[in-house]
Amino acid sequence: MYLCVIFEHGGDCGALCGVLPPTEQTYGEVNQLGGVFVNGRPLPNAIRLRIVELAQLGIRPCDISRQLRVSHGCVSKILARYNETGSILPGAIGGSKPRVTTPNVVKNIREYKQADPGIFAWEIRDRLLADGVCDKYNVPSVSSISRILRNKIGNLSQPAAHDSSKPTHAQAALPYNHIYPYSYPNAMSPPGAKMGSPHGVPVTGGHVSISRAWPSPHTVSNILGIRAFMDSTAIAGPDGYTPKMEDWTGVGRTAFPSPHCVNGMDKTAIDSDVKYPQPSSTLSSYVPACAYSPPNQYGVYSGPPGGYMSPAHHWQPQSASLSHAGGGGGGVTMHAAEIHAPMVFKHPARDEDRKPPSPLVKQQHHQQQQHEALGGVHGLALSTSSS
DNA sequence: CTCGTCACGGTTGAT
DNA sequence: ACATCAACCGTGACG
């Protein structure tokens, strides 16, 4: 049972409320630990990063859970993912899996079948691989091939079927490209295109609707000395809760593509991440890993490869410690947006096994500096003493 | 007490 | 424009 928290903007939400229409509402729920979360949506990158950082510091998951007020199951999941992929980013939400039975594949199968009516499905599969029509990642299963033969090709004695086939957009038909992050040439959707503006919320360079605040009193502030971090998250909030709520996670998503980098970080992103300020450099080190970046969020998190995968990104984890800029008064001002900064995968190889090679992944290979990123963790002013 | 796992209710985005 | 589907999410409970 969750305590549903409805935040009405326009009330005493603070300055942030100003941008929202009086009627605008944002919502969240409070878990058993008092932490705020949005059902169905990923935790803010800043918190995800925090989890990883604390784990790197040797803090036990159960303690991290309590300190950050995130369920231990979630902590476990995020750490497991990080260990496996090197990424702190959530997977891609929504969207559909890329189709393997593209017109080109069907066409080839048909040709194989016509050439050899007695060919077995597994033989077709092998040929698709051998001929380079498919790779191991998108080759249809034997059962799929059988289905294709049965449903789409049917009786080959009827040549008509051939002609009826749609023009092969062949390779172009492969949906994969648009599915993987690397597919975003330049920028994903214009910043704010989808999120910011809907409500008329001023979108300033990726500053999506970050003006909304989390009224919730349940903040992790004071925890680990990352008060600023949490405060901004919980208090300044979520605008994250734009109707789309993507901001919550998307922290700085929109800004991602921005070529403007500061210390290797996307400046725009930084700006946008008002909500969940976090240690930029550090964060960035964990982010890139989202190798198998999912179709959707990729755009969000990854943006143009050049954006954060940039080989030129001279990461200086240490330099951008949590206390970088702004932290103003003791408060560490971290920018979740920084997450977008280019970094390296912890286990690049693994990703390859998991997902089809993508440009993004490839680029990641160039970035083997990740471990160094962890060094940034040490730069954090963490106070492990939770109580 | 800790932690891995999973059902659940939820969101998202491609089709 | 809407519905469907399949991906993901974090929580909470169980073992």
Which string of DSSP letters, residue by residue, matches A241-277?
-STT-HHHHHTTTTTTT---EETTEEHHHHHHTTSS-
- A42 CA, B5 C1': Å apart: 19
pLDDT of residue A30: 92
Entry pTM: 0.49
More confident of the two residues A279 and A147:
A147
Q: How many CA atoms lie within 13 A of A227 on its CB side?
A: 7
**Confidence tier at A98 by pLDDT (50, 70, 90):** low
Kindly report the average pLDDT of chain A as a whole number. Answer: 53
Does the pLDDT at position A381 exceed 60? no
Percent of chain A with pLDDT over 70: 29
Q: Which nucleotide is nearest to A48 (CA to C1')?
A: C10
Q: Can you tell me whether residue A152 is helix, strand or coil?
A: helix
More confident of the two residues A168 and A111:
A111
Q: What are the DSSP calls for A62-130, one per residue?
A: HHHHHHHT--HHHHHHHHHHHHHHS--S----SS-PPPS--HHHHHHHHHHHHH-TT--HHHHHHHHHH
pLDDT of residue A142: 75
Question: Cα A65 to the chain's mean position, in Å?
Answer: 21
> Which DSSP symbol is given to A187?
-
- A65 CA, B1 C1': Å apart: 14
Nucleotides of B under 7 A from a protein CB: 1-7, 9-15
Q: Which nucleotide is nearest to A33 (CA to C1')?
A: C11
Tell if A386 CB is < 7 Å from nucleic strand B: no
Q: Can you tell me whether residue A36 is helix, strand or coil?
A: strand
Q: Which nucleotide is nearest to A290 (CA to C1')?
A: C8
| Poorest-pLDDT segment among A5-9, A158-162, A180-184 | A180-184
CA dihedral A40→A46→A48→A51, nearest 10 degrees, is: -140
Q: Which residues pair with A5 in a beta bridge?
A: A28
Return the top range by mean pLDDT from A146-150, A173-177, A221-225, A381-385.
Answer: A146-150
- A41 CA, C9 C1': Å apart: 5
Does the pLDDT at position A195 exceed 80? no
**Taking the C1' atom of C4, which residue's CA lies nearest?**
A96
pLDDT of residue A189: 35
Q: What is the pLDDT of residues A235-272, one digit of tens each?
A: 333 333 444 444 444 433 333 333 333 333 333 333 33
pLDDT of residue A81: 92
Question: How far apart (Å, rounded) are the C-alpha atoms in residues A270 and A232?
Answer: 13
Q: What is the pLDDT of residues A171-180, one digit of tens each?
A: 333 333 333 3
Q: Which nucleotide is nearest to A3 (CA to C1')?
A: C11
Tell if A62 CB is < 7 Å from nucleic strand B: yes
Q: Can you tell me whether residue A230 is helix, strand or coil?
A: helix
Does the pLDDT at position A112 exceed 90? no
Question: How far apart (Å, rounded) are the C-alpha atoms in residues A137 and A54?
Answer: 35
Taking CA atoms, A354 is separated from A28, A120, A136, A290, A296, in Å, by: 33, 28, 11, 11, 17
Cβ–Cβ < 8 Å for A380, A53: yes
pLDDT of residue A367: 37
pLDDT of residue A153: 67
CA gyration radius, chain A? 23
Does the pLDDT at position A59 exceed 80? yes
Cα-Cα end-to-end distance for chain A: 27
Nucleotides of C under 7 A from a protein CB: 5-13
Work out the average pLDDT over A99-114: 76
- A73 CA, B7 C1': Å apart: 13
Percent of chain A with pLDDT over 90: 14
- A96 CA, C3 C1': Å apart: 15
Q: What is the pLDDT of residues A2-39, one digit of tens each?
A: 444 544 433 333 333 333 333 334 568 899 999 999 99
Residues 155-214 of A with CB under 7 A from strand B: 175, 178-179
